[in-house]
Amino acid sequence: MSAYRRPSAVRPTLSRRGFLGMVGAAGAAVALGACGRDSTGQTAQLLPSRASLPKPYAVRLPIPPVKKPLRSDATTDYYEVVQKVADARILPGLRTPILGYDGIFPGPTLVSRSGRRIVVRHRNELPVPTVVHLHGGHTPASSDGYPIDLLLPSAGWSPGASHASTGHGAAMMTGDVAKGQRDYTYPLDQRAATLWYHDHRMDFTAPQVYRGLAGFHLVHDDEEAALPLPQGERDIPLMICDRAFEHDGSFRYPSLDRELRSTPGVDADFMEGVLGDVILVNGAPWPELEVDAARYRFRILNASNARRYQFALRTGDSTSVPFVQVGGDGGLLERSVELQSVVAAPAERFDVVVDFSGYRPGTVVTMTNQLGSGPTARVMRFRVTRKVRDDSRVPDRLSTIERLDPAKAVRTREWRFARGVINEGHKGWTINGKPFDPRRMDARPKLGDIEIWRFTADLHHPVHIHLDPFQVLRRGNHSPGDSESGWKDTVDLRPTETVEVAVRFTDYRGAFMLHCHNLEHEDMAMMASFATV
């Protein structure tokens, strides 16, 4: 039996979307842009809520709590996170069952210092296996969350019969499997940056992140601390994602296997990705944040499964308010960049400063999504409440970034991201024509070497590399924009585009991943492994 079979309840052999996909990437992208709400700039399909949508700006922006260590010694801080089922209050009057780190969504924020090791013990009290990946972490393979290094539920677990009987299921149990609890060790020998942790379980990442398994992990360092950027209560993480809801308030998601036990994948109509119609910021629908008339640093994370955004800020009279970008996935940029809008693919981070100091108390500034329509064109809003003294500023120069010289690259590797046949004739997503197989290594880069990796895409694919960040060299025939001039770990590939990056792996030997971070694509096999040697 195929692990990726279509639902038996009749799907035409070629769905409309499937057919469009075969016309050719460029044609499909244009056609999708024209064929209905929310398809602009996306490779994904809208799943509308069955619950009535909440009123925008009716709730305050929640800030996830900062996790405290259980104990600390000379070298290490020790944490414990319990993964459990809980009810969240997202829609008025309804409960939303979530899978949550410490039972909350987003999970607690971890705050670390560069170079200081931490150990996070995760206990799995969920009914499903999990894998924890620290996205953006420079982490040894044993703690990086390879997708078959499962953490099984403490209450016990056995895969469904269909899964165990496939080659796929067998491969699954060849990982480093732990039961009940696992210690993840993070040396955090890396620059200050906005990282996040999320589930990475093979075949089931998309539904498990969708149900809540994601949280921030901020790393600070001396270089960042010496800058006069906004800090403390004016340094705020914003986890932005879209969700759909059932009548009863539960998350709506088109899993083939609602129990997330054995059959991976989604209803064939959604294989390009799932878009919800409610935009959550830190788990709240279209929230409002009261701000002082001062500068704020916002760490924007697109934690959506598949949705791309183009964020912009507008006052009530439609005046544009700029973002001043100070950082990206891999930390501070060399110089700040003023942007009228920020385009964010899944898993990308943008550290921006917004200056509210010129606005009178009472002014409302709305964050919009220019790639959305109707409810998804709104994100959140800010209400200026009072004049204050503010000593923060954005200096001209933020950091020094070592350039990876492409002339010193020892080789170029090609990675083609495209729809393809993945399992007994069924469609999914492939890299270089192949579906993910955790036992196959597709590259063996040497630690310390600079390599050029050339990515090409049929549709939108946000490409993420584990272990070390990279530098974007070329996007199509152009140099990358200032916004992606720093260290990145995820790059937004658009239909038919080629992007070249320079990458250098360091410190840790072992098996790591590169994959598409459209989580539906990832679950439908768009991952590859490499072994550092």
Stretch touching Cu ion by CB under 5 A, among 126-134, 146-154, 478-486, 508-516: 508-516
Shortest distance (Å) from residue 90 CB to Cu ion:
27
| List of residues 6+ apart from 164 with CB closer than 8 A | 158, 170, 262
- The tokens for 470 are 């990279």
**Where does this chain touch Cu ion (CB under 5 A) — which range of 3-11, 13-21, 274-282, 509-517?**
509-517
Least CB distance to Cu ion at residue 75 (A)? 39
Q: What are phi and psi of 489, to 5 degrees?
A: -125, -5
Using CA atoms in the order 151, 157, 163, 165, what is the torsion angle rounded to 10 degrees?
A: 110
Q: What CA–CA distances, in Å, run from 506 to 175, 190, 194, 467?
A: 23, 11, 20, 8
Cβ-based nearer residue to Cu ion, 294 or 516:
516
CB 323, min distance to Cu ion, A: 26
**Selected range binding Cu ion among 79-87, 173-181, 318-326, 454-462, rule: CB under 5 A:** 454-462
Provide, rounded to whole angstroms, the least separation between the CB of residue 208 and Cu ion. 18
Q: How far is the CB of 304 from Cu ion (least distance, A)?
A: 13
C-alpha–C-alpha distance, residues 36 and 254, integer Å: 20
- In the complex, what is the shortest distance from the CB of residue 152 to Cu ion, in angstroms, rounded to a whole number? 28
Distances (CA, A) of 134 to 51, 102, 214: 33, 16, 10
Question: Contact region for Cu ion (CB under 5 A) — 116-124, 376-384, 475-483, 513-521?
Answer: 513-521
Specify the stretch interacting with Cu ion by CB under 5 A; choose among 22-30, 90-98, 495-503, 520-528: 520-528
Of 6, 122, 168, 521, the residue at the interface with Cu ion (CB under 5 A) is 521
Count the neighbouring beta carbons within 10 Å of the beta carbon of residue 407: 5
Cα separation, 202 vs 204, in Å, equals: 6
Nearer to Cu ion by Cβ, of 43 and 124: the residue is 43
Residue with tokens 């080629």: 498
Least distance from C-beta 522 to Cu ion, angstroms? 7
Range list of β-strands (E), 153-248: 178-179, 181-186, 193-199, 214-220, 235-245
Nearer to Cu ion, 291 or 519 (CB): 519
Nearer to Cu ion, 194 or 518 (CB): 518
Among 98, 219, 501, 516, binds Cu ion (CB under 5 A): 516
Taking CB under 5 A as the criterion, the residue among 518, 519, 520, 524 binding Cu ion is: 518
| Number of residues this chain uses to bind Cu ion (CB under 5 A) | 4
Paired tokens of 233: 């209560």
Q: Which two tokens stand for residue 277?
A: 């119609």
In whole angstroms, give the CA distance from residue 199 to residue 98: 13
Task: Name the one range near Cu ion by CB under 5 A: 88-96, 222-230, 360-368, 519-527.
Answer: 519-527
- Of 428, 436, 470, the closest CA to residue 451 belongs to 470
- The stretch near Cu ion (CB under 5 A) out of 75-83, 169-177, 244-252, 521-529 is 521-529
In the complex, what is the shortest distance from the CB of residue 520 to Cu ion, in angstroms, rounded to a whole number?
8
Strands 320-321, 378-387: pairing kind: unpaired
Interface pattern 455-474 for Cu ion (x via CB under 5 A)? ------x-------------
191/521 with CB nearer Cu ion: 521
In the complex, what is the shortest distance from the CB of residue 518 to Cu ion, in angstroms, rounded to a whole number? 4
Tell me: does residue 504 bind Cu ion (CB under 5 A). no
Least distance from C-beta 521 to Cu ion, angstroms? 3
Shortest Å, Cβ 429 to Cu ion:
6
Stretch that binds Cu ion, among 193-201, 284-292, 430-438, 510-518 (CB under 5 A): 510-518
At residue 270, φ and ψ (nearest 5 deg) are -110, 15
Residues 56-85 that bind Cu ion (CB under 5 A): none
Closest CB to Cu ion among 466 and 521?
Answer: 521
In sequence order, which residues have a C-beta less than 8 Å from that of residue 167 and are 6 or more positions away? none
Q: By the 8 A CB rule, do 370 and 340 touch?
A: no
Helix, coil or strand: residue 358: coil
Q: Hey, what are 284's tokens?
A: 């709240």
| Distance of alpha carbon 236 from alpha carbon 194, whole angstroms | 11
* Contact (Cβ atoms closer than 8 angstroms) between residue 418 and residue 457: yes
Binding site for Cu ion (CB under 5 A): 461, 516, 518, 521
